Each structure stands twice: as C-alpha cells, then as structure tokens.
Chains A and B, each alone.
Chain A
Amino acid sequence: MAVVNIDRVLFVAAVLFLLGLTGVLTRKNILFMLISIEIMLNAAGLAFVAAGSKWHQPDGQAMFLFILAMAAAEVSVGLALVMQIWHQHKTMDVEDLNKLKDE
C-alpha cells in the first residue's frame, strides 16, 4: 500500500530543520537557541527514519537512536552551561558573553 511520496516526508523534515535554523539565527536568548538546536536534530532524525523506511532497512532507525543519544548528551552539557552563565552573568543574552573579546 502506497502511503505518501518520499519527497513529502523529506519536505516536512526540511521545513522543520529550517524553522530550527531560523530560531537559532533570530533568537538572542541562549535557552531558545538550545531549543532550536533540538528542533534541528529532530528534523535530521526524521529524514533518517524516512530514508530507512524508504529502503525497508533498520539503519535509519539505528541512526535515529544515535542522534537521540547525541542530543541527550548535548542537552545535559548545554543546560549546565546555561545555568553557569545565569549564575555568573545574570543574563541569558548571548551578546553579553564577550569576556574573551579583545578590546
């Protein structure tokens, strides 16, 4: 039974990925940037699963599992960094974090 064209699925993945990219580019709050990165990772996983389902192979889902593990590690370290930034600078604005800049 034919369900949908594979290009529709890939298009949805592309839309989600680019929404995440727009979020990273437009937001100045570091928490929202992390959330947008999560959206992008999820969209990449959707593309993998779609490809795996196209070829009837389990490899796409295996790749999704690795993306999941990577996202979990990235989020834990990223949120720890966000908490440190908040405790030391009392701001979430990425443009305030310029202590390493040469003046």
Chain B
Amino acid sequence: MSTLFYLSSLVAIVATLMVITRYHPIHALLYLVVSFLAVAMIFLSLGAPFVAVLEVIIYAGAIMVLFIFVVMMLNLDKDTALQEKQWLRPRVWVGPALLTLVLLLEIGVLLVRGDLPALQLAVVTPRQVALSLYGEYLIAVELAGFLLMAGIVGAAHIGKHKKESLHRFLREETDAHEASAGDAREVHTGDGEGIPEKERKTWQL
C-alpha cells in the first residue's frame, strides 16, 4: 500500500510539472488527465475508494472533456504553441518558481517538525460518506446544487455567441474617437432612448 502511494504521488508530481511546462494546450491537458488518475490512485491508497472513483469520473472525465472541447472549438494550433514558447522564457518563470519554492520549503519544515504519527488505514466506505452528506451536510448539499445551477445559467448566458458585445460606454468612446467629437456622451442616458436603430438591434440580440 505504501509503495502504491509513493509511486502514484511521484507520477502525479511529474505529470503536473509537465502540465505547467507544456507549450501546446492539448499536451498539457493529456498530462493533466494522467495527473488526475495518479491522484485517484493516491485516494485509493489512503482508503477513500468513493472519492477515487469520483476523481476519475468527474475530474478526469467530465471536466477534462469540457477543456478539450473548448480547445478544439478555439482551434488552437502551432502558432499558439509558438507564442507560448516565446512567453515562457526563464526570465518570466524563475522569479515565481523561486518564491513558491520558498513556500514549499516552509511547509516542508513545518511538516517535518510536527512529527505526526503514521496513518492507520481504515477504509471510509461510500455508505458513511452518503450518511454524512445527507445528514449533517444536507444544507451544504443544497447550496452546492444552487451553485451548480448558477454555473449552468451563467455559462449558458456568457457563452452565447453574439456578433459583437462591447459595453455601450466603450462603444460610445470608440465612436467619439472616430468622430473626434467630445459631446457624444450625453446622448445615451435614457433606457434605450436616442440610440440608433442598428445599436438597439445588437442589444436585443
């Protein structure tokens, strides 16, 4: 069991390191799937089989599928990878990497000095988790339902494909710049009054 833990945590760390250093989004996503599967193995070795299954199904399944669909829809290709390569120079990543390394050392020192006892493995069964969820955490479950509902509605609203959705103040500004007239601002004060027909159409879309 302990070999399983060490092996899978090594895989998880290496795969995550590969995720944050890849240039191409699809490569990063595939390494992220590997990392999630390795974390699922860690959960299994910690005696949490229910969460391990959920990690595979929801994280490595559903969420990664969302990411991959979006990458496919955005049609990111070699140019994006090239741009990433230009962005990710040592000058950019050395500073943050050093700072987070210091944080990691601090956490490591705290954990080593804490002298915590060994973990006694006892499998927490799905039955216990379900009883806890629908017992003491019932309100939190309902709130999570609200959150998911808000997420669905928000995603459907934001993801709507509009032709152009500049905010009206920004559009006004660009119009004013083009006409180089400063007093175009006071036209759009009312609720849709005095707005040209073309703009009102784009609003209603």
What residues make up the interface of A, taking CB atoms closer than 8 Å to B? 1-12, 14-16, 18-23, 25-29, 31-32, 34-36, 38-39, 42, 45-46, 49-50, 52-54, 56-62, 64-66, 68-77, 79-84, 86-88, 92-93, 99
What is the CB-to-nearest-CB distance from A71 to chain B, in angstroms, rounded to a whole number? 7
Number of B positions contacting A (CB below 8 A): 88
Query: Does B189 belong to the interface (CB within 8 Å)?
Result: no
The number of inter-chain residue pairs (CB within 8 angstroms) is: 244
Instruction: Choose the segment among B97-105, B180-188, B195-203 that binds chain A (4+ C-beta atoms closer than 8 Å).
Output: B97-105
Q: Does more than half of chain B's interface fall in helix, strand or loop, or is it mixed? A: helix
Residues in B156-175 with C-beta less than 8 Å from chain A: 156, 158-159, 161, 164-166, 170
Residues of A within 8 A of B17 (CB): 19
Once the chains bind, are A88 and B165 in contact (CB under 8 Å)? yes
Residues of A within 8 A of B99 (CB): 25
Q: Does more than half of chain A's interface fall in helix, strand or loop, or is it mixed? A: helix
Residues of B within 8 A of A36 (CB): 19-20
Residues of A within 8 A of B205 (CB): none
Once the chains bind, are A35 and B48 in contact (CB under 8 Å)? no
Chain B residue with Cβ nearest A15 = B13
Once the chains bind, are A29 and B104 in contact (CB under 8 Å)? no
